[in-house]
Structure 1
């Protein structure tokens, strides 16, 4: 080697090392005493078993004593986090990483093309529009102006068919309760009054006369955040009339259902109504709006399977269903006689799970193959036209468009492939790059691979593991294992700006596709529900054991995380195997399995969980794994940071409050057990960017500190 060249290389390496600064974890952090949490004498009796619930008072989330408890808990948590020496450096790095332009795929409404854009650190993405290809781009709706602190978000939007009117939903503080505002798109002038107390609702226009929406009667007793919402109602709102005069179309006391949705076929001929009492399975109804006074016809009259009308061609309906097809299929039927016995298979079930879309007169079958996307294009007679070539192995979404569209836009991502938008020509089947991601990340430095490990009962479980190339498998790598495992939800590969923090520090990010999810269809989902729920926890524990046995990490370097149902997952596994993990991060979790169904729409989760009121066997099963009840006095638990929000009206914060209070009471040892309670935030949707960055900063700081991981700037 040339001597001068060697000198230059050596000088470059020395300079690079000098520019890097390793910040070590604090050798000792002063943990303030946990707040003294009052204990009551409340107890419930279930089939002869008395179950104490001393922290029941924390369920009253708006009470003064609960608010005072929240304040004191946050003081302890913030005092701990403030002492972590690399917390500020992580925040600065995350803020820099987040500061790039982010775009959504464009969509056409009337004479305009609309798209969302975030300049980088804006709390909420802004909706822009442009008339024609050469028109001037202008701001259409800026949610950052909805509130001074960015906590009011745009939570849904629906344009009338001609694009002249738009109804949009806003969420305040992350609540599921929404307001609906209607404006004219041409001049943005408001039309009529603002609709209030709308919840779990799409908006479906019928011409320009008005739109369908769904809601509940708002609770009148106790907290409006935690009160039970039970009877959903589908209304039609006529523009420029009071909301109190809105017509009840379906639901309420006449047809009581917990979840009701209404949408129209693109030609606005058919109103489609879905009705369910749980999160899986539901009834299906249609109404032919082209015939005045036509009745609502029953298509499916039970709650056993999932169905949706995805398109129509005159009276010919295209229906997605998993009836007699656990992985899903598409059938057709005449709307005049739409019962299942008349359905004709159009795209039969395959070994892969189907998630269909339509557009340009085509049907796009987006399949899950081992939790990654595989997309095929069919004509409306069920003839396969082509398999769509995707840029890599990962997740593709957005294969839908209007009937007359010649092109559509889809996004593609993986754990090492930042979200990228492609334009797809429906006729030719060719894709071209539309918007690349501007995030500061070099995919060539990292690798992401899928492995299959064996769970406790012998079932093979897929997991995708992501890390730097050339990672040494010495058992000393900080690792975060993430999972969900419920509600037929599939965890497919997706890029996370936040995860760059872990990866560039030499850490490992692992996502296990547990039973209870939808990765392998209905059978996979059912294998993790009710009296089979322990399978989910066993799968997650086995994932941790695999990562340890293969020397990716060790119990002293391993953290686990999950949110909502994933928060239950973390809570259950950390109580069953506390020695297996060093850090636990249960977020907005379902943690009291005996009472979850008594808050908001929680009873709708019974399809997955069952309830303690069902029978003695179900009670005993829930009682055994319920994280709040499974905590044991004098046990050394992992360093734990529970996270929740005071406006979470889906999984109410009482779950996290009660769990954290008992965990602090029972925990033995020096590991910190904290609760971080966000204010003016909900279950997660619409959270402002600044709040997200702060939360992610604390997550990584807590993980690195408690796994003894240095942070290199």
Structure 2
């Protein structure tokens, strides 16, 4: 029912929150009253030169006015761009037909039962599970041996409120169902505590406000974090059930603007951990989970290890021992250590599991008799089991080689089984149980793709050679009968930032392409963590250009090996992946026929130059500080798409933006498209398109599945209409 308590070997982008000013209601309302007129030509953006001086160098930004939500020209420009997309769809019959066909094909692939398999363990005489209804997720339980279901929460009502569920978690005694909600784009919201006692009839229901994350400490106490005005989680509070929120105890406050706070509880529920993380270091405090705030408002807090530059560590607890996942002592790809819980300090850390050079640890799950290690070997997923009694470590053979591995919730500490799921380019999520005593893998649920002949397709791994001789992995998803004649339409994907790997995951939008003979090429460029921590380190800060060189090398390899040619090559990137793909507009536009940039981070220099933007400082370890460091300024400017586009040989480009996006501000894609339109020598109505979603946050709007599928179908149709010749 909840996310398992885990150790994390990397800080993921979901923790790196960038708050931008939200569009006022009056502005959004006026934008939604768009009159459908027929634009004769693409919008002509207003140029207002903004002359900036940084480190003695002049920078002219003609479209910085778009960063002002109250600028009188902004509404008109957004309206004109959205009308241009509408006009293009209506006037290009092929694109309109393709979108309908693609949408229909994607829907067919979703005709699979989506109910989550029951958890492998039960608690307090109940079995817990969830299922997807046409209106949203439904959380249920039923007593063992009975068929009658009890609805814990039907989340369908949230849709009309433009809200969604962030997390659900039961109290240890399973008498309170806790869930927190968020309004689209906010990334925090209310924490609801629902009393499940039959005799009290919900009289003890409570709601806490402005909650970012939460965990249970015991049956009477819940800990939660709150964000500051810049959306940085910085405080930890303890709430005692049945008391007012204003009486909650402030347990910890993080004053460093480069650090955000998260909380977890150890798997054995002995401790609550307070994690102060930056992009490159961590500092953890532990609090006794049994502390009674009714008798004392001052819990005993222990610091596990003071922060050290570039040292990360994460902890869990088992019996009388802390287990530490860390990159200390040169363990670049992380190792697992332990120390007695009464002898806290790095000097007491003892290695338990270390990794080979081609391996890395990403996650650890602690059980009564075993440790389960999730990681990668040669860039591909792996699971290791470690027997705590014999100290033997052995691998679990996975059913798929090219897949995405997802640990299960695995709430039960005292069990010999654990659950995990995998999904691959050719299959929905499939769920498995592994028995650590018998070493036997059992399939719980396998979900094949509806009306899809998997036997005709394959995943293969090839390598390109980057500018410095580095071999860059490429995962190709393709028909087995693919011919090397240079005319296969190809969609490249990549990300290359924050240590986030580009995964061979299930994507519903791939199937209309695959069945039309397309090849999907996943570029595992530096900046991700596919090949370990060094792969990430060599794709950020002063090494950031490696990401772009790697992506170019992948494109060149596909062309040289006759998989495709520039007339048939396209690319798609989202967020920081939009920066990777967007940089091709000026670095190598000759290699691509079409690009799709989804909420792209394409004006990194403007963002990183403004320390007043919330959490800019948090991202200095990723991109550098161009305000104080001239070399960082020069480097970011050298690859920034907005600063470098020339309007020459521009591939057909489709760009999206979200007005409620708090991570990549709406104005970044707007400014890029405006500059492209201004520089194109003879702009056509469909060479560059910008779709601005008025209700979208960074991870999509609170729209129904039909609307989300329609948006993706439009992007796929755009690619097919620009690239495919038949």
State the match for 1:683 in structure 2: 698
* 2:460/2:477 contact within 8 Å kept: yes
Relative to 1, partners in 2 of residues 1:60 and 1:385: Cα closer, same or farther, differing over 3 Å? same
Equivalence for 1:225: none
Trace 1:10-409 onto structure 2 (pairs within 5 A): 32-61=40-69, 65-82=73-90, 83=92, 84=95, 85-107=97-119, 108=122, 110-118=124-132, 122=134, 124-132=136-144, 134-148=146-160, 151-186=162-197, 189=202, 191-199=204-212, 201=213, 203-218=214-229, 228-230=230-232, 232-253=234-255, 258-276=259-277, 278-289=278-289, 293-314=299-320, 316-323=321-328, 324-351=330-357, 352-355=359-362, 356-380=364-388, 383-393=391-401, 394-398=403-407, 401=410, 402-409=412-419
Residue by residue, what CA displacement relative to the aligned partner does 1:624-681 show, whole Å, maximum 9, x if unpaired?
111111112x412111111121211122222112112112222345461111122322
Give the root-mean-square deviation of aligned CA atoms: 2.4
Post-superposition shift, 1:343? Answer: 0.4
2:704 is aligned with 1:702:
no
Distance in 2 (CA, whole Å) between partners of 1:123 and 1:678 is: 22
| Among candidates 397, 420, 426, match of residue 416 of structure 1 | 426
CA separation of 1:140 and 1:561: change in aligned 2, threshold 3 A: same
**Matched-pair contact (CA < 8 Å) for 1:366–1:375:** yes
Matches of 1:686 and 1:156, distance apart in 2 = 18
Which residue in 1 is equivalent to 2:677? 664
Q: Is the Cα–Cα contact under 8 Å of residues 285 and 301 in structure 2 kept in the other structure? A: no
Q: Per the alignment, do residues 699 and 609 of structure 1 end up closer, same or farther by CA in structure 2, a change over 3 Å counting?
A: same
- Deviation, structure 1 residue 705: 0.8
The residue aligned with 1:222 is: none
SS of the residue aligned with 1:537? Answer: helix
Measured in 2, the distance between the counterparts of 1:210 and 1:87 equals 51
Shift in Å, 1:378 = 0.4
Match of 1:572 among 573, 583, 587: 583
Cα-to-partner distance string for 1:58-101 (whole Å, 9 max, x where unaligned): 22347675344322211111221333132211112222222322
Aligned-partner SS, 1:102: coil
| Residues in 1 aligned to 2:706 and 2:548: alpha-carbon distance in whole angstroms | 33
Aligned to 2:436: 426
Residue of 609, 627, 637 corresponding to 2:623: 609
Q: Deviations over 1:361-415 (max 9, x none)?
A: 3111222123221211102357225321211213332156221234222112222
Q: Which moved more, 1:283-292 or 1:326-335?
A: 283-292
- After superposition, residues 500-511 of structure 1 pair within 5 angstroms as 500-511=511-522
SS of aligned partner of 2:677: helix
1:422-442 deviation digits (Å, cap 9, x = unpaired): 122232121222112153122
Structure 2 stretches lacking a partner, 5+ long: 1-37
- The within-5 A match list for 1:648-659 is 648-659=661-672
Query: For the Cα contact (< 8 Å) 1:379–1:385, is it kept in 2?
Result: yes
Q: Given the superposition, is the C-alpha separation of residues 434 and 231 from structure 1 closer, same or farther in structure 2, using an over 3 Å criterion?
A: closer
TM-score scaled to structure 2, two decimals? 0.86
Match of 1:673 in 2: 688
For residues 201-257 of structure 1, give each alpha carbon's deviation from its aligned partner in whole angstroms, at most 9, with x where no partner exists. Answer: 3x1112122311222223xxxxxxxxx44572222233343433332222244x655
CA shift, 1:148, in A, is: 2.5
Pairing partner for 2:571 from 550, 560, 575: 560
- Where 1:418 maps in the other structure, the secondary structure is strand
Query: Closer, same or farther in 2 for the Cα pair 1:685/1:592, shift >3 Å?
Result: same
1:319-368 per-position Cα deviation (integer Å, ceiling 9, x unaligned): 11111201111100122332222200011232201122233531112221
Aligned-partner Cα distance in 2 for 1:190–1:601: 40
Pick from 630, 633, 636 the counterpart of residue 619 of structure 1: 633
CA contact (8 A) 1:170 1:178 kept: yes
Tell me, yes or no, if the aligned pair for 1:357 and 1:399 is still in contact at 8 Å. no
Q: What's the counterpart of residue 645 of structure 1? A: 658
Q: CA deviation at 1:580?
A: 0.8
Count of aligned pairs: 663
User: Residue 686 of structure 1: CA displacement?
Assistant: 7.3
Tell me, which stretches of 5 or more residues in structure 1 are unaligned?
1-29, 219-227
Structure 2 Cα separation of the partners of residues 40 and 460 of structure 1? 45
Distance 2:76 2:386 in 1: 59
Given that residues 258 and 601 in structure 1 are in contact (C-alpha distance below 8 angstroms), is that contact kept between their aligned partners in structure 2? no
Question: What is the alpha-carbon distance in structure 2 between the residues aligned to residue 677 and residue 509 of structure 1?
Answer: 26
* 1:25 counterpart residue number: none
Contact kept, 8 Å, 1:371 with 1:513, in 2: the verdict is no
Deviation at 1:295, TM superposition (A): 3.3
The answer (yes or no) to whether the contact 2:585–2:645 under 8 Å persists in 1 is no
Moved more, 604-613 or 54-63: 54-63
Distance in 2 of aligned mates of 1:490 and 1:674: 28
Q: Matched residues in 2 for 1:127 and 1:37: separation?
A: 49
Residues 231 and 416 (structure 1), Cα distance of their counterparts in 2 relative to 1, 3 Å cut: closer
Q: Distance in 2 between matches of 1:106 and 1:575?
A: 51
1:551 to 559, 562, 565: 562
Cα contact 1:206–1:268 (8 A) shared by 2? yes
Alignment-derived partner of residue 27 in structure 1 = none
Cα distance in 2 between the residues matched to 1:443 and 1:508: 15
Per-residue deviation, residues 468-525 of structure 1 (Å, max 9, x unmatched): 1201222112211000111111223212222111111111101011111111222111
Identify the range of structure 1 (187-196 vs 48-57) with the bigger mean alpha-carbon deviation: 187-196
In 2, the alpha carbon distance for the partners of 1:197 and 1:65 equals 34
Q: Is the Cα–Cα contact under 8 Å of residues 231 and 257 in structure 1 kept in the other structure?
A: no
Task: Indicate the SS of the match to 1:457.
Answer: coil
